């Protein structure tokens, strides 16, 4: 099996599922190539307001890239092509204009940790294990991955994870900032569903503006598109959803946002 990247939609919430359960959802070349296509589908569907990504089952989120392919895919020129392919996958996930949540059971190792770091919010079961182990494979770790780690946990903790390649349990991951919150394993799915629904009930234009603003502010100051941020804010004020939000507040009822 080469594994699959699947989309399961439930109303305004979509689940992006990495399905390669026979290898703890390790990501194959076919799956890396499928990620940008899946993200494009999620981006283009206006009915989807929130995306939850997870691994199939409850044993692993993603236990890394599929090492069984490395001799064919990550040597010489193949290694450079592989890096381009994975960079496209990470860029697609990071560029999604809707809130992205990582739901993490079990193993979240290597490429799995890098995928999780593209999420806006990360929630883990208490059995989750994290590691960034390129030093154990002799790999050079890509700059974007290191930058994502630094943004999440800071430079000293990033150095620790990269230099030691050690595994980190869910409690430590939460303490250093790898995840937002840890739940008992049998409650994680329900807890994340509740968070996703709470987000999906909010105004889509506001969510999009907030996410884009976060993305811009993560760039170096000289590269930030402040005009784009302001335009997105003005679009919210001009929207029917803003009028609906104010009416709902005054009428003491839940708003019914339409995304325009």
pLDDT in tens, 126-176: 999 999 998 988 888 888 889 999 999 999 999 999 999 999 999 999 999
Question: In this predicted structure, what is the pLDDT of residue 35?
Answer: 97
Q: Tell me whether residue 255 is in a domain.
A: no
Taking the C-alpha atoms of residue 99 and residue 119, their distance in angstroms, rounded to an integer, is 8
Q: Tell me whether residue 220 is in a domain.
A: yes
Across 32-46, average pLDDT = 96
Q: Tell me whether residue 259 is in a domain.
A: no
Across 92-108, average pLDDT = 96
Across 186-212, average pLDDT = 97
pTM of the predicted model, to two decimals?
0.93
Across 251-258, average pLDDT = 94
Q: Which two tokens stand for residue 225?
A: 């598109």
Tell me the pLDDT band of 82, cut-offs 50, 70 and 90. Answer: confident
Reply yes or no on whether the pLDDT at 74 is more than 60: no
The count of domains in the chain is 2
Q: Which of 199, 216, 237 is the last residue of a domain?
A: 199
> Shortest CA distance to 142 belongs to which of 107, 125, 124, 117?
117
Report DSSP letters for 130-148, one per residue.
EE--GGGTTPPPPHHHHHH
Q: Which of 199, 214, 232 is the last residue of a domain?
A: 199
Asked whether residue 139 falls in the same domain as residue 208, the answer is no
Reply yes or no on whether the pLDDT at 211 is more than 90: yes
Residue percentage of the chain with pLDDT more than 90: 85
Q: Tell me whether residue 25 is in a domain.
A: yes
The alpha helices in 45-169, defined as continuous H runs, are: 70-73, 77-95, 111-116, 143-153, 155-164
Asked whether residue 111 falls in the same domain as residue 49, the answer is yes
Q: Tell me whether residue 171 is in a domain.
A: yes
Asked whether residue 124 falls in the same domain as residue 246, the answer is no
Q: Which of 179, 199, 219 is the last residue of a domain?
A: 199
Residues in the chain: 260
Asked whether residue 209 falls in the same domain as residue 125, the answer is no
> Which residues, listed in sequence order, are joined to residue 4 by a DSSP beta bridge?
19
Q: Tell me whether residue 100 is in a domain.
A: yes
Question: In this predicted structure, what is the pLDDT of residue 68?
Answer: 75
Q: Tell me whether residue 260 is in a domain.
A: no
Handedness of CA 41, 43, 44, 47 (dihedral sign): positive
* Beta strands 4-10 and 13-19, pairing class: antiparallel
Question: In this predicted structure, what is the pLDDT of residue 157?
Answer: 96
Asked whether residue 154 falls in the same domain as residue 243, the answer is no
Taking the C-alpha atoms of residue 203 and residue 189, their distance in angstroms, rounded to an integer, is 24
Reply yes or no on whether the pLDDT at 76 is more than 80: no
- Whether the Cβ atoms of residue 8 and residue 44 lie closer than 8 Å to each other: no
Q: Higher confidence at residue 9 or residue 82?
A: 9
Asked whether residue 82 falls in the same domain as residue 115, the answer is yes
Asked whether residue 211 falls in the same domain as residue 138, the answer is no
Asked whether residue 41 falls in the same domain as residue 74, the answer is yes
Taking the C-alpha atoms of residue 61 and residue 69, their distance in angstroms, rounded to an integer, is 19
Q: Which two tokens stand for residue 89?
A: 């996958």
- Whether the Cβ atoms of residue 49 and residue 201 lie closer than 8 Å to each other: no
Asked whether residue 158 falls in the same domain as residue 244, the answer is no
Domain that holds residue 90: 4-199
| Lowest-confidence region among 7-21, 69-83, 94-108 | 69-83
Report DSSP letters for 159-197, one per residue.
HHHHHH---EEHHHHHHHTS-SEEE-HHHHHHHHHHHHH
CB neighbour class for 237 (10 Å; exposed up to 12, middle 13-18, buried from 19): exposed
Asked whether residue 209 falls in the same domain as residue 118, the answer is no
Reply yes or no on whether the pLDDT at 70 is more than 70: no
Reply yes or no on whether the pLDDT at 113 is more than 80: yes
Would you give the distance in Å from CA 111 to the centre of its chain?
A: 12
Residue percentage of the chain with pLDDT more than 70: 96
Q: For residue 170, give the CATH number of its domain.
A: 3.90.226.10
Q: Which two tokens stand for residue 77?
A: 């020129």
Asked whether residue 225 falls in the same domain as residue 106, the answer is no
Q: Tell me whether residue 256 is in a domain.
A: no
Asked whether residue 32 falls in the same domain as residue 70, the answer is yes
């Amino acid at each position: 099996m080469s594994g699959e990247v699947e989309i399961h939609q439930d109303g305004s919430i979509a689940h992006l599922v990495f399905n390669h359960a026979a290898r703890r959802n390790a990501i194959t070349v076919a799956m890396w190539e499928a990620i940008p296509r899946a993200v494009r589908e999620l981006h283009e569907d206006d009915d989807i307001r929130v995306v939850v990504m997870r691994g199939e089952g409850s044993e692993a989120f993603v236990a890394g890239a599929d090492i069984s392919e490395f001799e064919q895919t990550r040597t010489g020129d193949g290694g450079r092509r592989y890096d381009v392919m994975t960079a496209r996958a990470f860029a697609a996930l990071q560029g999604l204009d809707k809130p992205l949540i990582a739901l993490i059971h079990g193993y979240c190792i290597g490429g799995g940790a890098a995928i999780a770091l593209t999420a806006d919010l990360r929630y883990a079961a208490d059995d989750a294990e994290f590691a960034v182990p390129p030093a154990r494979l002799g790999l050079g770790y890509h700059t974007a991955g290191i930058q994502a780690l630094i943004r999440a946990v800071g430079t000293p903790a990033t150095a620790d994870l990269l230099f030691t390649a050690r595994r980190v349990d869910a409690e430590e991951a939460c303490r250093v900032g790898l995840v937002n919150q840890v739940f008992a394993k049998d409650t994680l799915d329900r807890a994340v569903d509740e968070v996703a629904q709470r987000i999906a009930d909010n105004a889509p234009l506001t969510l999009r503006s907030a996410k884009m603003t976060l993305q811009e502010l993560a760039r170096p100051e000289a590269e930030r598109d402040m005009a784009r941020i302001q335009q997105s804010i003005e679009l919210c004020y001009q929207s029917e959803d803003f009028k609906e939000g104010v009416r709902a507040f005054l009428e003491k009822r839940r708003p019914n946002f339409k995304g325009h």
